[in-house]
């Protein structure tokens, strides 16, 4: 994973008030809970006393309580109570959890994966998606590293083959360009815009990016490092994916269908559900192929023989490598 970034790892509704939840993200077993103010805390799911999973315990005020011996830990990771020592006795300083800064926004829970700093950079999302949209989410597990799953969403060459009967209909197998432009390229804010120009093969060679006029319309696709993607279908309909890294060989996909076309409550609910279901059908076509890729994790120099149409993947790999190298 790229250090010193905000990662979307869960949807807000997955962390309920009144009980902790255990998940595996970033290769770590984590426990998340809400304090009495509703704020989310995140820590390693391991009591330092005897190695028990805190997610099997319960909440006591703002703290998570170990189910084995009742030790309590606050959102900062500090142990506040060791029952065997008496409720007024100070807890040993060594009894401390590793915690992760959290932020809740856009219906996601984000964690800061990296070095502690104050202040932390802001969490970024897609500016064109505002509160006028409603959405429906489906989740799907892919047995592949999250970098491979991301690259699939940047791959414009596969459409007529993997999606021949859905979004790839029409046999537009020839790829002009595509055009990639960085809307932002900073240590903690990297937004890649992509314009797609696929067409039916008429015997002419594909146009190079330099032969395509600079776009005046909005991008077709956007990718925001480290792990969220946006398909700008129209001004009123969008698809996004958050690629939550489980570990080096598994990713949980959060597929969202956003729309503001249908506003009547019942119709909106049905339309959102149908949109999310359509997303899943298309995504499952991808999954069948992507999970067979080897190696499971992509890198900049891995021996693959890329072509002009793979420009978005090359841009992603280059920037990912730069961010990893910068962190090292």
Q: pLDDT (tens digit, 9 = 90+) per residue, 98-108?
A: 999 999 999 99
Q: What are the angstrom distances between the C-alpha of 191 and each of 58, 180, 202, 233?
A: 40, 11, 34, 18
Q: To 5 degrees, how large is the angle CA 263–CA 268–CA 272?
A: 130
Return the CATH superfamily for domain 134-327: Naphthalene 1,2-dioxygenase Alpha Subunit; Chain A, domain 1 (3.90.380.10)
Query: Angle at Cα 128 formed by Cα 127 and Cα 134, nearest 5°?
Result: 110
Name the percent of the chain lying above pLDDT 90: 96
Two structure tokens written together for 221: 């696709």
93 is written with which tokens?
């300083």
Whole-model pTM: value is 0.95
Burial of 91 (0-12, 13-18, 19+ CB in 10 A): middle
| CA–CA separation, 149 and 253 (whole Å) | 9
Sorted by where each begins, the domain ranges of the chain are 5-113, 134-327
1-35 pLDDT, tens digit per residue, is: 999 999 999 999 999 999 999 999 999 999 999 99
CATH no. for 5-113: 2.102.10.10
**Helix/strand/coil percentages in the chain, nearest 5:** 20, 35, 45
Model pLDDT, residue 210: 96
Would you write out the chain's pLDDT as a tens digit for each of its 328 residues?
999 999 999 999 999 999 999 999 999 999 999 999 999 999 999 999 999 999 999 999 999 999 999 999 999 999 999 999 998 899 999 999 999 999 999 999 999 999 988 899 999 999 999 999 999 999 999 999 999 999 999 999 999 999 999 999 999 999 999 999 999 999 999 999 999 999 999 999 999 999 999 999 999 999 999 999 999 999 999 999 999 999 999 999 999 999 999 989 899 999 999 999 999 999 999 999 999 999 999 999 999 999 999 999 999 999 999 999 987 7
DSSP 227: T
């Amino acid at each position: 994973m790229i250090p010193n970034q905000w990662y979307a790892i869960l949807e807000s509704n997955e962390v309920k008030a009144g009980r902790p939840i255990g998940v595996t993200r970033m290769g770590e077993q984590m426990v998340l809970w809400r304090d009495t103010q509703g704020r989310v805390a995140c820590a390693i799911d391991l009591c330092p006393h005897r190695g028990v999973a805190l997610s099997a315990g319960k909440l006591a005020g703002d703290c998570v309580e170990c189910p084995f011996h009742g030790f309590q830990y606050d959102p900062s990771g500090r142990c506040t109570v060791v029952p065997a020592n008496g409720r007024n006795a100070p807890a040993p300083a060594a009894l401390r959890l590793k915690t992760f800064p959290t932020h809740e926004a856009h219906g996601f829970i984000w964690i800061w994966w990296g070095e502690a700093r104050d202040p932390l950079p802001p969490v970024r999302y897609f500016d064109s998606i505002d509160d006028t949209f409603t959405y429906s989410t489906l989740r799907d597990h892919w047995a592949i590293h999250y970098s491979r799953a991301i690259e699939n969403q940047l791959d414009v060459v596969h459409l007529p083959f993997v999606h021949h009967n859905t979004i790839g209909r029409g046999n537009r197998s020839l790829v002009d360009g595509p055009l990639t432009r960085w809307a932002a390229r900073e240590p903690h804010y990297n937004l890649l815009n992509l314009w797609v120009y696929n067409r039916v093969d008429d015997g002419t060679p594909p146009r190079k990016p330099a032969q395509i006029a600079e776009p005046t319309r909005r991008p077709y696709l956007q990718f925001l490092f480290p792990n969220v993607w946006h398909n700008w279908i129209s001004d009123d309909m969008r698809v996004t994916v958050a690629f939550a890294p489980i570990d080096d060989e598994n990713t949980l996909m959060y597929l969202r269908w956003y729309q503001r076309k249908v506003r009547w409550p019942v119709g909106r609910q049905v339309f959102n559900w149908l949109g999310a279901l359509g997303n899943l059908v298309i995504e499952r076509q991808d999954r069948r192929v992507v999970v067979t890729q080897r190696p499971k994790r992509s890198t900049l120099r891995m021996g693959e023989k890329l072509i002009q149409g793979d420009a978005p993947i090359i841009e992603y790999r280059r920037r990912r490598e730069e961010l990893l190298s910068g962190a090292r």
